[in-house]
């Protein structure tokens, strides 16, 4: 199963690294390899969250996520997105932006860096809303119970997550963004830009996430109606409607489509820090696209692996750890509008939170198994007596 799931990623890695070595020598090979590792370390929490959503979708849409979705992730976010940023910032066409990246990579890097406040505000608000909606929702399992249970009770207040998100954006725009860092060490007032971009990120989350949730609920209501009709027919001694599909294994149709859009926007938000962070290593857009693209392939494969192995069901705190990592990344993105945050810190923080949640899950599973074993022994003793 491991080879089947990661086979395409291994193949792309081999082709990409060979291509880098042939075209750009050992330096290109090393940079592409480092960028691949950077993307994987920064996006591990992305894979865990993706898996939690992808397991709700049927096999067809999971395949779409791995094919069309990877094209959007690799070519759209890792190659086209930086070019679009430069085109908009510099007021030039896409072709001129690519030409600028090849002829004057230093200026290209400067334009992308100067656009960072807008990018960070959009991605930071989108990720912050994901985190807030997670911690304000009541769940069967709680990882950090003393924190999560009170927050879940607060979450009963309608619109609380949006309110807190807007407060966070206002604080960022009126404090951090007034002295935003720019290329070369300068600082400018980016309050209006950050405010506009942050609102755009929040609205994007509400629209795409809301439509996805709406159609998911409609699908579940339809399944419940069909099940009730089948039970009624059996009680009355009638044969249930022939040809009706049993309970759907995964989301399909419009529900899956909007879930797919939600996943792509989520991936885009995660990729922002990877793209910006890549400039600390190289300003060659082709090295960057190849390295980050290889990393994105592993994130996709890891997502599917977690779904097929049922890892999230077995290790119940993994999603908690990933969402806390998302919250931390959202805060770091907003803070990075003014202060540079080393990519190593971002990557290690996410990995540490997920590793801690995994360890907590293992301890919980052992405790549950021991409890069940003790219960079984007590039952045997009682039966014997």
In a domain, 97, yes or no: yes
pLDDT of residue 234: 61
Q: How far apart are CA 347 and CA 293, in angstroms?
A: 17
> Is the predicted pLDDT of residue 281 greater than 60, yes or no?
yes
Place of tokens 């966070």: 168
Please check whether residue 45 is in contact with residue 324, taking contact to mean a CB–CB distance below 8 angstroms: no
The continuous run of DSSP H or E covering 187 comes out as strand 187-188
Helix (H, G, I), strand (E, B) or coil at 181: strand
pLDDT per residue as tens digits for the range 235-278: 666 655 544 444 444 566 777 777 787 777 777 766 766 676 67
In a domain, 313, yes or no: yes
Q: How far apart are CA 153 and CA 138, in angstroms?
A: 7
Q: How far apart are CA 328 and CA 348, in angstroms?
A: 11
In a domain, 385, yes or no: no
In a domain, 375, yes or no: no
Q: If you count them, how many residues does the chain have?
A: 385
Q: Is the dihedral of CA 103, 107, 113, 114 positive or negative?
A: negative
Q: How far apart are CA 246 and CA 253, in angstroms?
A: 16
pLDDT per residue as tens digits for the range 291-350: 888 887 887 788 878 887 777 788 888 888 888 888 888 898 889 888 877 767 777 787
* Spacing of C-alpha 195 from chain mean position: 23
The continuous run of DSSP H or E covering 180 comes out as strand 180-181
pTM of the model: 0.73
Domain containing 103 equals: 2-368
In a domain, 384, yes or no: no
pLDDT band at 385 (very low <50, low <70, confident <90, very high): very low
In a domain, 145, yes or no: yes
pLDDT of residue 171: 93
In a domain, 187, yes or no: yes
Q: How many CB atoms lie within 10 A of CB 250?
A: 18
Q: Which DSSP string corresponds to 351-369? A: HHHHHHHHHHHHHHHHHHH
3-class SS letters over 183-229: HHHCEECCHHHHHHHHHHHHHHHHHHHHHHHHHHHHHHHHHHHHHHH
Which of 2-11, 28-37, 80-89 is the least confident region?
A: 80-89
Mean pLDDT in residue range 82-88: 74
Q: Which DSSP string corresponds to 7-49? A: HHHHHHHHHHHHHHHHHHHHHHHHHHHHHHHHHHHHHHHHHHH
Q: How far apart are CA 323 and CA 90, in angstroms?
A: 36
pLDDT per residue as tens digits for the range 342-384: 767 777 787 788 889 889 989 988 888 888 777 665 545 455 5
What integer best gives the mean pLDDT of the chain? 78
> Is the predicted pLDDT of residue 4 greater than 80, yes or no?
no
Residue with the bigger pLDDT between 234 and 30: it is 30
> Is the predicted pLDDT of residue 157 greater than 80, yes or no?
yes
pLDDT per residue as tens digits for the range 24-34: 888 888 888 88
pLDDT of residue 248: 42
pLDDT band at 168 (very low <50, low <70, confident <90, very high): very high
In a domain, 377, yes or no: no
> Is the predicted pLDDT of residue 162 greater than 80, yes or no?
yes
Instruction: Give me the number of domains the chain comprises.
Output: 1
- What are the backbone dihedrals phi and psi of residue 251, each rounded to the nearest 5 degrees, phi first? -65, 145
Q: How far apart are CA 321 and CA 362, in angstroms?
A: 13
pLDDT per residue as tens digits for the range 116-143: 888 888 888 988 998 998 889 888 888 8
pLDDT per residue as tens digits for the range 40-70: 766 677 788 778 777 777 778 877 877 787 7
With CA atoms as reference, report the closest residue to 360 among 169, 144, 181, 188: 144
């Amino acid at each position: 199963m491991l080879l089947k799931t990661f086979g395409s990623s291994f193949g792309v890695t081999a082709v990409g690294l060979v291509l880098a070595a042939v075209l750009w020598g050992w330096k290109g090979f090393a940079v592409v390899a480092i960028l691949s590792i950077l993307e994987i370390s920064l996006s591990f929490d992305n894979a865990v969250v993706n898996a939690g959503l992808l397991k709700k979708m049927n096999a067809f849409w999971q395949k779409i996520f791995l094919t069309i979705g990877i094209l959007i992730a690799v070519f759209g976010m890792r190659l086209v997105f930086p070019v679009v940023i430069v085109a908009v910032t510099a007021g030039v066409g896409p072709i001129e932006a690519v030409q600028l990246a090849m002829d004057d990579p230093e200026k290209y890097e400067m334009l992308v860096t100067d656009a960072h406040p807008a990018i960070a505000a959009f991605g930071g608000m989108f990720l912050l809303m994901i985190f807030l909606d997670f911690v304000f929702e009541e769940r069967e399992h709680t990882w950090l119970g003393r924190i999560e249970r009170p927050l879940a009770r607060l979450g009963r207040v309608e619109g609380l997550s949006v309110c807190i998100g807007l407060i966070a954006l206002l604080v960022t725009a009126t404090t951090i963004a007034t002295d935003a860092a720019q290329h070369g060490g300068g600082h400018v007032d980016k309050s209006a830009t950050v405010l506009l971009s942050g609102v755009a990120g929040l609205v994007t989350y509400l629209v795409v996430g809301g439509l996805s949730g709406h159609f998911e609920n409609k699908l579940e209501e339809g399944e419940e109606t069909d099940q009730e009709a089948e039970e009624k027919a059996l009680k009355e001694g009638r044969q249930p409607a022939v040809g009706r599909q049993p309970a759907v294994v995964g989301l399909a149709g419009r529900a899956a489509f909007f879930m797919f859009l939600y996943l792509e926007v989520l991936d885009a938000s995660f990729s922002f820090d990877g793209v910006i962070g890549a400039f600390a290593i190289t300003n060659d857009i082709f090295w960057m696209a190849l390295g980050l693209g290889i990393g994105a392939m592993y994130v996709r494969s890891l997502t599917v692996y977690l779904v097929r192995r049922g890892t999230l069901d077995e290790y119940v705190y993994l999603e908690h750890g990933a969402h806390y990592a998302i919250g931390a990344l959202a805060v770091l993105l907003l803070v990075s509008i003014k202060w540079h945050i080393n990519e190593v810190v971002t990557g290690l923080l996410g990995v540490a939170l997920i590793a801690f949640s995994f360890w907590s899950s293992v301890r919980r599973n052992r405790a549950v198994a021991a409890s069940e074993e003790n219960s079984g022994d007590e039952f045997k003793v009682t039966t014997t007596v």
